[in-house]
Amino acid sequence: MGYAFAAAACIGCNRVFTFNPMRVPSITINGSREPICGDCVERANPLRLKNGLPPIEPLPDAYEACDESELGE
């Protein structure tokens, strides 16, 4: 049994961070889903609420490794 995580630059701040590739919050930019880090989620949510949008609510394990079996084949 093994674990997996992904690493990428956050679409909001461009900082590289690690995350669960199956559960990380993401936003669509030019038709492509892009991951967003926890710090940017916290910064974005007040603006989203002010604009009548629902807050981004990361799953509890969004920024942790996942069991490799969740990745499929």
Question: Per residue in 5-45, pLDDT tens?
Answer: 999 999 999 999 999 999 999 999 999 999 999 999 999 99
| For range 50-73, the mean pLDDT | 90
Distance CA 19, CA 35 (A): 9
pLDDT given for residue 34 in this prediction: 95
Cα torsion angle, 64, 67, 68, 70, sign: negative
Q: What phi-psi label fits residue 40: left (phi over 0), alpha (psi between -120 and 50 degrees) or beta?
A: alpha
Model pTM score: 0.85
| pLDDT confidence tier of residue 73, bands split at 50, 70 and 90 | low
| Total number of domains constituting the chain | 1
Reduce the DSSP state of residue 16 to 3 states and report it. strand
Bridge partners of 3?
Answer: 67
Range of the domain at 32: 3-71
Q: Scanning the structure block, which residue is given the tokens 């490794």? A: 65
